[in-house]
Structure 1
């Protein structure tokens, strides 16, 4: 080989090494560090306004508390279609989502960002038919291209999940239904990979058929999966709310048995002999208890199916949601205490079985702290002060014990600031510095997130910049703006409502909290 060819060969080898070194850890390597997870449910996925269902906009304090409680992963269900203009997600909503993602990443959490449902209808998950809908497919490509570009330089702790629970409209999954869903997943994967950067090897998650374990095993083997340009960077997702009568059912139902199907209150070692029909696993057709449904045996059997059919075939699995209502609207006194003891066991059984079979369990939290209404899965406080307080210590401690973490004791977290790699975008500190208001007594006091490097600036209650200044709330709505000034401009902040805001001037932005 002559000297010139040697140089080419060496250069090519170095390029190959550099390309290889740039690859993010594989899905299997990522999952090994994900531990147990927590959902910020009923928040960013709420159509139009993330606070409309009663939860405040997520904060750094909340995400720090999630990490301190022993969770190593957070799932951020997110709406997109209701935040579009002209067929594209608005940049201001992308900025709002980025704010929450940054909180999670800074807390050191593995962060799953998805396209969730939008109300009971939605544009995607209830539209899984026997053929591809071009409108749905185009939205899938457009939205994921935008999302992926927004986060292309984030490290491997950011994971994209293509959907939530696709196909609740499908009673019988045919090969055509499965093919349609996998086509949409192919669009998702291709859109993300095409953006380059760290997205070329970012871990992506595809969901099972309505995220149902048995339906997925029966009709969606790995042979039906979409293809990826890179090997080993896909995960699979299912959800677990078994038995339904125990975890979610809130009223009596007629399912064709000789007696009504009733909500069940008591689980495992904490059943009530005098009310067998209220015990988890009661079978109205047989008139007896199915002991498997009332013990760890059932999640073990279900999760073993996931290991055999997916994990062992190269696709790590997450249990993207699990949880159980508290029966406080109906029970009180000793009955409520018995129910709560069984509920602690249920959570531990699910997490234990998931860990046993190599799955990542992610707890569903809705934020609703009500004792008189259902949908009340609230494990960490969000709707009242102090935000981030663990509400269900017994449940959290039972889950922590599976990972040998000991009992919960919030000793704080160490922030991680280097989660953006290969890009020029700076990360900002989570600490905040108080900015004193100007002399007017009617002026709102403001905090500005420290460490946000912008070319335009704020003094007191005035923003100064070169060019037009625009102020947005966290729903992406324009709150106020300066005139269309080509030179220096100002924007007054007096009178704005309390909350978190993003101000923009050209391609620069800063965040602040109005108190």
Structure 2
């Protein structure tokens, strides 16, 4: 019996049609002539597909007059039945069942020489997966409470010893979130490998606390169970020990990590809490024997990724559940974690959202909890990278330079915002970690406006800002931890050159450290 391969037949017919369509001709890699159109066309009927957790199939209608190819990651959960062909075609894409408890996504790319690439977004709902067993008393991961070397200090008392802090930003949390699964290393975002010499320099400069933002999703040996690679736990430990060996305080967290927590909705609440519990179970057990110089912070700037507005009731409730999951999971590991000082976050670590929406988690251990917020006000001075719209000056000394100083977010605003945190949390026994704050450094040398502030004016204004914010935090019982992303150039936050470990911005450093000496 003659069996006809419909796919091959379609290809042959398309080749025959193109041959007589007035196209140009060139040789392929094998030296044979193939037809090539004068102008390549390439399009699809839709550019996004959603699959249920059970998987399934769908069709992509490709319209083209040339050779094309579909490319995707080798381990992608969705693949086409035909990877390459010529001309118009209906291509079936097939998604495997999602056996994990996390939603997943990928991008398939349609390419053809002479045409713009076409991206096809594919997503899939979370599956039920294998449940992560909670740590129960007397279970294999539980040990009896142990307060050895855990000083009899409340979190308020500990906060008074932590001094001024510094962020090891854009290193241990560097992640390529767009790949499936995520990839990356501590050098992915351009910073060099962290060295003991760098942390020694930070200590020598006058800092007593280091916050180490960490991503974990790109360092899993099993994506379905969220098993963290032992070598990554060891590397995070090595970096933490650089600071602990200097008798500094260290905060490690689950940072942005690709944004998987930025969906505080009832529909995703269980899956996110399961992944968060799986991470903190492993982190807490691994670091359980460290004393109270090591603190854990549950998350970072968790918000609805679609906007920066105040949370809805749903978003606030779900984000509060993340804090409870973190705290319950860590405490359940026992040992010194029974007494460890833990840090929970307000919604998007925004001061107003924290005051209005944060619910303090239930904790059987008394006086061992802190609250974290961040501060980058006013945006046009601290974060706006556009010199034209940004405001290069800040504060009372520069108030007369209209147009270059914001009309809000000045000294009175700092006092008001930090005062809210003192009244609502510090005075109630919950010290506040100002986990991030700062203002980018602007290179104003290229600004053509003759009235634009000089470099020295900006530098002095920035020093004044950093000094004022740091001192106001300390005065309100808040632990200030400056955000350093390692970038020393224009619009950077770096205080240190991470390669040479030398101070790269003495003016800014002096502004911060001097606040603790006043």
TM-score normalised by structure 2 residue count: 0.65
- Report the counterpart of residue 31 of structure 2 in structure 1: none
- Report the counterpart of residue 477 of structure 2 in structure 1: 358
- Report the counterpart of residue 47 of structure 2 in structure 1: none
CA RMSD of aligned residues (A): 2.1
Q: Does 1:112 align with 2:231?
A: no
Distance 1:82 1:116, change over 3 A: same
Q: How far apart, in 2, do the equivalents of 1:158 and 1:192 lie?
A: 13
- Report the counterpart of residue 391 of structure 2 in structure 1: 264
Residue by residue over 1:125-161, the C-alpha shift from the partner in whole angstroms, topping out at 9 and shown as x without a partner, is x111245522211111111011111110101000000
- Report the counterpart of residue 71 of structure 1 in structure 2: 207
From 296, 300, 317, give the equivalent of 2:432.
317
- Report the counterpart of residue 216 of structure 1 in structure 2: 354
Residue by residue over 1:287-328, the C-alpha shift from the partner in whole angstroms, topping out at 9 and shown as x without a partner, is xxx4xx33x322111100000011111111011001111110
Task: Tell me if the contact between 1:78 and 1:115 (Cα under 8 Å) persists in the aligned partners.
Answer: yes
Q: Does 1:49 align with 2:188?
A: no
Q: Does 1:175 align with 2:323?
A: no
SS at 2:390 equivalent: coil
SS at 1:133 equivalent: helix
Distance 1:336 1:135, change over 3 A: same
Task: Tell me if the contact between 1:270 and 1:338 (Cα under 8 Å) persists in the aligned partners.
Answer: no
1:48-197 → structure 2 map (5 Å cutoff): 48-86=184-222, 87-119=226-258, 122-124=259-261, 126-130=262-266, 133-169=269-305, 171-197=309-335
- Report the counterpart of residue 382 of structure 2 in structure 1: 247
Count residues with an aligned counterpart.
356
Superposition deviation, residue 272 in structure 1: 7.7
SS at 1:276 equivalent: coil
Q: Does 1:338 align with 2:466?
A: no
- Report the counterpart of residue 511 of structure 2 in structure 1: 398
Distance 1:98 1:358, change over 3 A: same
Q: How far apart, in 2, do the equivalents of 1:70 and 1:168 lie?
A: 36
Superposition deviation, residue 107 in structure 1: 1.5
Task: Tell me if the contact between 2:150 and 2:291 (Cα under 8 Å) persists in the aligned partners.
Answer: no
Q: How far apart, in 2, do the equivalents of 1:270 and 1:249 lie?
A: 21
Q: Does 1:230 align with 2:349?
A: no
Distance 1:329 1:91, change over 3 A: farther
Range moving further from structure 2, 299-308 or 393-402: 393-402
Q: How far apart, in 1, do the equivalents of 2:146 and 2:291 lie?
A: 16
Q: How far apart, in 1, do the equivalents of 2:456 and 2:506 lie?
A: 14
Superposition deviation, residue 49 in structure 1: 1.0
Superposition deviation, residue 20 in structure 1: 6.7
Q: How far apart, in 1, do the equivalents of 2:298 and 2:399 lie?
A: 42
Task: Tell me if the contact between 2:147 and 2:336 (Cα under 8 Å) persists in the aligned partners.
Answer: no
Residue by residue over 1:101-131, the C-alpha shift from the partner in whole angstroms, topping out at 9 and shown as x without a partner, is 1111112110000100134xx211x111245
Superposition deviation, residue 330 in structure 1: 6.1
Superposition deviation, residue 97 in structure 1: 0.7
Q: How far apart, in 2, do the equivalents of 1:352 and 1:195 lie?
A: 37
Superposition deviation, residue 168 in structure 1: 4.4
Superposition deviation, residue 271 in structure 1: 2.7
Q: How far apart, in 2, do the equivalents of 1:310 and 1:225 lie?
A: 10
Task: Tell me if the contact between 2:171 and 2:189 (Cα under 8 Å) persists in the aligned partners.
Answer: yes
Distance 1:88 1:158, change over 3 A: same
Task: Tell me if the contact between 2:484 and 2:495 (Cα under 8 Å) persists in the aligned partners.
Answer: yes
* Greater relative CO (CA pairs within 8 A, separation 6+): 1
Task: Tell me if the contact between 2:392 and 2:453 (Cα under 8 Å) persists in the aligned partners.
Answer: no
Distance 1:140 1:19, change over 3 A: closer
Task: Tell me if the contact between 1:185 and 1:206 (Cα under 8 Å) persists in the aligned partners.
Answer: yes
Superposition deviation, residue 262 in structure 1: 2.2
Superposition deviation, residue 28 in structure 1: 1.6
Residue by residue over 1:396-439, the C-alpha shift from the partner in whole angstroms, topping out at 9 and shown as x without a partner, is 2222222228xxxxxxxxxxxxxxxxxxxxxxxxxxxxxxxxxx
Superposition deviation, residue 172 in structure 1: 3.7
Task: Tell me if the contact between 2:159 and 2:431 (Cα under 8 Å) persists in the aligned partners.
Answer: yes
Q: How far apart, in 2, do the equivalents of 1:20 and 1:114 lie?
A: 22
Q: How far apart, in 1, do the equivalents of 2:221 and 2:270 lie?
A: 19
- Report the counterpart of residue 90 of structure 2 in structure 1: none
Distance 1:42 1:329, change over 3 A: farther
Residue by residue over 1:463-503, the C-alpha shift from the partner in whole angstroms, topping out at 9 and shown as x without a partner, is xxxxxxxxxxxxxxxxxxxxxxxxxxxxxxxxxxxxxxxxx
